[in-house]
């Protein structure tokens, strides 16, 4: 399970990322605006639900702490959306506190389109299906709703240390 559909052709010149809060207020960043924000270079281990892990992967991107700093919200959940239609849900608490990034660089090079370029969500402490490739939006939600794989039975949180692969794990 790598991509649920074809690789969408997303150009950084037209790419944007929008956060919408539970009142419907939206904030959008263009590529240039994303690049002008403080950047971080996390080195992290990633875990796919199909049991592979990759250790010490090197990324560069913007922390969700930065992107959500000025967003007025008390919502506990988020739905992340991608170019191409993929969605995945996760608790806001798992996006904050230095645990999640909008990543645009992998191993020192621009993120390859197959791996979500120009930018993807990176949430390494959860199973990798939460790390939406070709990321485009984040919608804050007072109550949890299932995303693409979650509707098909995958777990709403997906903690690899608790082996939360499927609903009920």
Ligand X SMILES: Nc1nc2c(c(=O)[nH]1)N[C@H]1C(S)=C(S)[C@@H](COP(=O)(O)O)O[C@H]1N2
- Binding interface with Mo ion (CB under 5 A): 1, 48, 129
Q: CB-wise, 7 or 73, nearer to ligand X?
A: 7
Q: CB-wise, 73 or 157, nearer to ligand X?
A: 157
User: In whole angstroms, how close is the CB of 111 to Mo ion at the nearest point?
Assistant: 17
Q: CB-wise, 34 or 119, nearer to ligand X?
A: 119
User: In whole angstroms, how close is the CB of 70 to ligand X at the nearest point?
Assistant: 26
User: In whole angstroms, how close is the CB of 52 to ligand X at the nearest point?
Assistant: 8
Cα torsion through 56, 125, 87, 41, rounded to 10: -50
Q: CB-wise, 37 or 44, nearer to Mo ion?
A: 44
User: In whole angstroms, how close is the CB of 89 to Mo ion at the nearest point?
Assistant: 15
Q: CB-wise, 22 or 48, nearer to ligand X?
A: 48
Q: Which does 90 bind (CB under 5 to 8 A by kind): ligand X, Mo ion, none?
A: none
User: Using CB atoms, what's the residue nearest to Mo ion?
Assistant: 1
User: In whole angstroms, how close is the CB of 12 to ligand X at the nearest point?
Assistant: 16
- Binding interface with ligand X (CB under 6 A): 1-4, 48, 82, 84, 86, 115-116, 128-129, 131-134
3-state SS, the chain, equals CCCCCCCCCCCCCCCEEEEECCCCCEEEEEHHHHHHCCCECCEEEEECCCCCEEEEEEEEEEEHHHHCCCCCCCCCEEEEEECCCCEEEEEHHHCCCCCCEEEEEECCEECCHHHCCCCEEECCCCCHHHCCCCEEEEEEECCCCCCHHHHCCECCCCCHHHCCCECCC
User: How many Å is the maximal CA-CA distance in the chain?
Assistant: 42
């Amino acid at each position: 399970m790598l991509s649920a559909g074809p690789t969408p052709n997303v150009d950084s010149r037209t790419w944007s990322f929008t956060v919408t809060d539970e009142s419907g207020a939206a904030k959008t960043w263009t590529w240039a605006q994303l690049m002008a924000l403080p950047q971080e270079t996390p080195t992290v281990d990633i875990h796919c639900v199909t049991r592979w892990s990759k250790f010490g992967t090197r990324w560069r991107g913007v922390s969700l702490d930065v992107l959500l700093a000025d967003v007025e919200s008390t919502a506990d959940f988020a739905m992340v959306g991608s170019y191409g239609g993929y969605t995945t849900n996760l608790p806001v608490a798992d996006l904050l506190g230095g645990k999640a990034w909008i990543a645009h660089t992998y191993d020192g090079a621009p993120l390859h389109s197959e791996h979500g370029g120009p930018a993807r969500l990176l949430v390494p402490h959860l199973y990798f299906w939460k790390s939406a490739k070709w990321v485009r939006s984040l919608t804050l939600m007072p109550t949890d709703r299932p995303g693409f794989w979650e509707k098909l039975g995958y777990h709403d949180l997906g903690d690899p240390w608790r082996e939360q692969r499927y609903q009920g794990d």
